[in-house]
Structure 1
């Protein structure tokens, strides 16, 4: 295996993915706590003996005993709250938010702080029993323990304040909206992941590289793929967007060019290695998944068992706010009609010139965010009124592709609502609230 996988951009993407895992934060905090104890030995060497003897070892022992006994209970309590919140959020809103709540930064930092402090206290007590830290040189470890205790108290206060909203509907929808908008803008600033836009399909002479497992396309490392393409003098085409489900032996990507038989096995391995296929979709490179999750929350709120149209209205507003950030200010110069800026419009062409990736399509974005609630809330006037108002706002968006997509979606949603509503005055009010252009199109066809 060569060093293609180790290019900086790929390493950064992998590091960001690992940084969102709880065990990574816990491991880092544990290593820091152990390393800090070794650092105290170095400081003790430069502290005068007269100053070191001011503090006795018994003072540090009492603090270490407090941390060791309290942190185990605090960690168990935090884990119980976390698991309870995960289960309640998955059952009340949608199971897809479980994945996002597990990546909650405050929760992960708090658990890492508690476990790290617990490990610090245990190791320090063991070293004290082994006479590594003597009673005559306990000044540094005492004050280090005070700092650890202060950090634990601060983490506990932050955790208690965070629990006031953690797992609630408002907090959950804000989380989903925040991560979706962030990933959405990242994609707009780097259209097609920095590659060429694939709008006309795969060339006829391109050959497929089949998937070696079934699952969702979760991550793509475009910089690495482009490097592989440069090495073997080929061009890669990825017709399936991130979040698409591929089956075993279904084409995962296509390449155009010649690869010798002796290099073919390594070439296929490298190409597949830069595309992660997993059993779940992920928010990281897939802003459409966040829109789907928000649509699911709204759809569940409209179910007969919950009957909460207010939540659906709130989701409509949030999805509209996300799509409204799809402005020319967030895009490089030269936005394409499909809504995502064309990589070819830059002064130097696309950054990854041997890779073709499909752009974000406005029709897909609207269907992801509004599709489910349009169907499940078709008979609710308040929901349909807010939906039509939001779509009317998107019809005035600077991007022409999004304007047209919003108009066609509003047309479909209005027709479905008019057929689903049994009360004639509701139908009349809804029809009167839309633009004249849309009203004429619906009534005359």
Structure 2
């Protein structure tokens, strides 16, 4: 098995994933809190004795009691808020937002600060009880405890300000747009994950590697696959793309170019591919800009449901999706040489991206003229995109959506206004 430390990009990707987990940040803050207390006593011994006696240990005790009592209550309240926000966004907007709520950095840092402060106070109280921290030499401990209190107050203020928008529709839509835009940029700056674009048919001869379980392809680590292919002198063709739902024993990759491969080599190939094609029970935003576009479309569809009937949210989502798609460029037209030339990955499909962003909105908002007008304006703007694939996909979808809306609108004046708005939008785009 390859070591992540010999593969910096893979290691960074794995560490970034762990850094978004709440328990990791809480554990780090807790360990830091426990470590600073012995360090404070080492610093205390370096101070002059007269200075050490400036603060008595009883002064530290009162502060520690306040921290220990308050942090347990505040942490419980904060966890309740996070759970409530999770349920609220899932029911009001889409369950796909829960991933973003769970990985919200402000929420995680705040909870980690509160729990870390609680651990610090408990540890200090225990060490005071066993006389590890003396009554006459507590200056550094006092200063450190005051610093912890300042950190707590700052975290509380930041947390209260963050709660004003946490879980709101606008903030949730902005979060999805930001992470989708970031993943989209990362993908386009590193076309096809740094692999050679797979634009033709996969060779028929070769070793087919099947999925070890049923689930979504969440992440592909291309660097170890390239390293293995270089060592064995073969090529690896990815049959499954990020975001695909594959069943157990369904083909995920094909290895070609091996003249002869013994059973040990075949087993090693399978193990390497299984280890670096990460699968799970749900789609994630990492390496998957299409998932972000689909999530935004689901928010708009929920807003267009009869019980909510919020066309303004759908219009806002259309604008955000159009802004992201305007950054698209063909991954097969990169100037440089592929960083992983022995790995083949299919490029993003412009038609699929447009469909992910707008198909659901076109269907669920077919009877809302205002939504259809905005959809036609955004698609008309995308028809001017320099990439021919995206431009053509936007033009075709625009015609299809207009036809669907004309059939769904019951009132003749609405149909005329929509048709006129669509024509004007395309005339401006082409003029």
Taking the aligned partners of 1:187 and 1:178, their CA distance within structure 2 comes to: 14
Deviation for aligned residue 1:111: 0.3
- Contact 2:4 2:11 (C-alpha < 8 Å) held by counterparts: no
Taking the aligned partners of 2:414 and 2:116, their CA distance within structure 1 comes to: 60
Taking the aligned partners of 2:231 and 2:409, their CA distance within structure 1 comes to: 60
Residue 92 of structure 2 corresponds to which residue in structure 1?
92
Q: Given the superposition, is the C-alpha separation of residues 5 and 132 from structure 1 closer, same or farther in structure 2, using an over 3 Å criterion?
A: closer
The residue correspondences of 1:120-131 to structure 2 (distance < 5 A) are 120-131=120-131
State whether structure 2 residue 406 is matched by structure 1 residue 415: no
- Contact 1:198 1:239 (C-alpha < 8 Å) held by counterparts: no
Deviation for aligned residue 1:163: 0.4
Residue 428 of structure 1 corresponds to which residue in structure 2?
416
Q: Given the superposition, is the C-alpha separation of residues 437 and 121 from structure 1 closer, same or farther in structure 2, using an over 3 Å criterion?
A: closer
Residue 393 of structure 2 corresponds to which residue in structure 1?
405
Structure 1 residue matching 2:331: 3-state secondary structure: coil
Deviation for aligned residue 1:316: 0.5
The normalised TM-score by structure 1 is 0.93
Structure 2 residue matching 1:96: 3-state secondary structure: helix
The residue correspondences of 1:20-99 to structure 2 (distance < 5 A) are 20-99=20-99
Deviation for aligned residue 1:102: 0.8
The residue correspondences of 1:14-413 to structure 2 (distance < 5 A) are 14-258=14-258, 259-326=261-328, 339-343=330-334, 345-346=335-336, 349-413=337-401
- Could you report, residue by residue, the CA deviation over 1:384-438 in whole angstroms, capped at 9, with x for unpaired residues? 0000000011111122221111111111111111111111111111111224797
- Could you report, residue by residue, the CA deviation over 1:11-43 in whole angstroms, capped at 9, with x for unpaired residues? 000001111110011011111111111211221
Taking the aligned partners of 1:383 and 1:77, their CA distance within structure 2 comes to: 40
Taking the aligned partners of 2:177 and 2:168, their CA distance within structure 1 comes to: 14
Structure 1 residue matching 2:213: 3-state secondary structure: coil
Deviation for aligned residue 1:205: 1.7
- Contact 1:201 1:239 (C-alpha < 8 Å) held by counterparts: no
Taking the aligned partners of 2:37 and 2:377, their CA distance within structure 1 comes to: 61
The normalised TM-score by structure 2 is 0.96
Structure 2: 5+ residue runs without aligned partners?
A: none
Taking the aligned partners of 2:206 and 2:389, their CA distance within structure 1 comes to: 29
Structure 1 residue matching 2:95: 3-state secondary structure: coil
- Could you report, residue by residue, the CA deviation over 1:268-317 in whole angstroms, capped at 9, with x for unpaired residues? 11111001010000001101000000000001111111111111111101
Q: Given the superposition, is the C-alpha separation of residues 438 and 60 from structure 1 closer, same or farther in structure 2, using an over 3 Å criterion?
A: closer
Deviation for aligned residue 1:245: 0.3
Taking the aligned partners of 2:245 and 2:213, their CA distance within structure 1 comes to: 11
Deviation for aligned residue 1:340: 2.6
Structure 1: 5+ residue runs without aligned partners?
A: 327-334, 440-445
- Could you report, residue by residue, the CA deviation over 1:83-109 in whole angstroms, capped at 9, with x for unpaired residues? 001000000001111111111110000
**Higher alpha-carbon deviation: 306-315 or 252-261:** 252-261
Backbone CA RMSD of aligned residues: 1.5
- Could you report, residue by residue, the CA deviation over 1:247-275 in whole angstroms, capped at 9, with x for unpaired residues? 00000111112232222212211111001
